Amino acid sequence: MGAPVPNKIDVPPKHWDGAFAPSSCLVIITTMDDQGRVNAASFGTCTRVCHDPVHISFTCAVGKDTTNNILANGQFVANIVPFEQDVLDKVLLCGLPFRPGVDELERAGLTALASRVVKPPRIAECRTHFECSVAWTHQWLHRVMVCGKVEAVSIDEGCMTDRGEIVWDRVKPAHYCGAPYKDRFVPVYNAPLRAKWTYDGRDEEFREGQNWREAFQSKD
């Protein structure tokens, strides 16, 4: 028996962009093969690449189960991983090169939860879930880049404010340090530091009609 599944709240489209925060983070991607078998794999390099409509993207090696399932079925779910020891341990298991057809969620003791609109499942232990249909793929060298259009977003109850911002210390997003660092992760959920800045330049340096003075200035 796993931990109780938290109540997942559907996020309205106007807050999908804010839900993928920070704009690049550690995820577990779930896909499904032609026989309906679930696959899960870890990705440290998943990035939000378009605000409206929200699209997210990542790359995967040719021949991997994730790549094959996506090319065959055109759907995936990016599950944002919390910086918690027991989940990070399972992230490493999901990165092992299991044979096709092996369900990494079962192997790692993670809980599959039916998605809202796509066939691959969400992962209950992750806080936020981006259900995607594939917009395009591009293969180069031995890699495939996948760009997914977000079709639905859900998040644990209590993890998003009314303004559509994540509650950082509940979502607890993480970064993977990268393959050279083996099993190391860093948290990215400290209270965000607000940069106070000014630019001492000339208006002619900027694109016509673009108000650089208000760029990146939050209201509060």
> Per 3-state DSSP, what percentage of the chain is helix, strand, and coil (rounded to 5)?
20, 35, 45
Considering only the stretches 87-95, 119-127, 144-152, 211-219, report the one whose residues sit in contact with ligand FMN under the rule CB under 6 A.
87-95
Q: Tell me, what DSSP letter sits at residue 212?
A: G
* Smallest separation (angstroms) from ligand FMN to the CB of 69: 8
* Smallest separation (angstroms) from ligand FMN to the CB of 48: 15
* Residue in the block written with tokens 């929200």: 54
In the bound state with ligand FMN, the residue whose beta carbon lies nearer, of 8 and 73, is 73
Q: How many CA atoms lie within 13 A of 74 on its CB side?
A: 7
Which residue has the closest beta carbon to ligand FMN? Answer: 95
Residue 103's contacts (CB-CB under 8 Å, 6 or more residues apart) are 37, 38, 39, 40
In the bound state with ligand FMN, the residue whose beta carbon lies nearer, of 60 and 150, is 60
User: How big is the site for ligand FMN, counted in residues (CB under 6 A)?
Assistant: 17
* Smallest separation (angstroms) from ligand FMN to the CB of 3: 21
Q: Tell me, what DSSP letter sits at residue 166?
A: B
* Smallest separation (angstroms) from ligand FMN to the CB of 199: 34
Choosing from 65, 131, 151, 156, the residue that interacts with ligand FMN (CB under 6 A) is: 65
Considering only the stretches 88-96, 149-157, 164-172, 187-195, report the one whose residues sit in contact with ligand FMN under the rule CB under 6 A.
88-96
176 binds ligand FMN (CB under 6 A): yes
What are the CA-CA distances from residue 192 to residues 142, 166, 167, 169, 171 (Å)? 37, 11, 11, 10, 13
